[in-house]
Structure 1
Amino acid sequence: MFLAAEEPNAVLPHPSEIILGLVAFLLLLFVISKFVAPRFEKLYAERTAKIEGGIEKAEKAQAEAEAALQQYKAQLAEARAESARIRDDARAEAEQIKEELRAQAQEESARIIAQGQASLEASRAQIVAELRADLGRHAVALASKVVGESLEDDARRRGTVDRFLEELDAVSAPAKN
């Protein structure tokens, strides 16, 4: 048999193609491991650092927000306590003013009542004095007509009038009680 040129095998590639493919693969592997892989590792590390830094910043911001919230709550509680204290002070002051005004009103009322009673007593005394004098004149005139003699003598008239008024007071004193 005559050996003819070998026919290419469809399943197995030619050995030169295998060698050339292997050299190209090794060259590509060298370039990737020397240049590309370190660049990816560097980018990966940077991205990891940014993410971790972002997380730290977020945690720090959250802690600051929590501290601000606690401070706000403390200030709010302090403001509420202050407003309650001010309200209580205002109520106490209002009560004190109310009591002072009530005391002033009572004093003024007592003063007006006392002044009215004093005025009334003075008026009463004046009216009683006028009535006594008037009653004395009428009594003397009536007694003069009844007795038939003149009671013009001042001393006798005063004595008679005073005695009459004393008797009148003695009679009216039990009636008042």
Structure 2
Amino acid sequence: MKAEKTKLDGCFIIHDTVFHDSRGYFFESFNRQKFADQTGWDVSFVQDNQSFSSKGVLRGLHFQKGDAAQAKLVRALTGKVLDVAVDIRKDSPTYGEHVAVELTAENGKQLFIPRGFAHGFVVLSETATFFYKCDNYYNKAAEGGLIYNDADINIDWQLSSDLFELSEKDLLLPTLKSLE
């Protein structure tokens, strides 16, 4: 495992060592001690989530507020997604900035997103299975979000917006400025 820092403090791209042979492959997708050694974050995950979506499905940008905030470790089990983390920590020098990483079954990359970030992804392949570990339980009362096309955040989702499929709820999310 190798953790690559991003421009956002606390966000890391995780590169795993994959062992291939005639039977297929094997890799350790998470090891708490190695993760802490590489990132400086000692995280205890308590909930795993998985979704299956088709091309153009955009989920996000979501976060949990207050004591319900969640750190996430995300990856694509099948297909290809563009995964995005937005820094919404008001005291951060990178407040309002984002990182975008292509996660595929083939590249095996994972993205670690600490608490204090909004998160979303769009499916770039025909279908994708997306998996994420969370360090806190989901709490409906603590839901928050940002609109995917906030001009101040300016995310290049790598697809034409006419291909996007969003939930009704995600289409009504506020801008970052309106959260301030």
TM-score (norm 2): 0.14
Larger radius of gyration: 1
Instruction: Return the structure number with greater strand share.
Output: 2
TM-score (norm 1): 0.14
Structure of higher RCO (CA pairs closer than 8 Å, 6+ residues apart): 2
Instruction: Return the structure number with greater helix share.
Output: 1
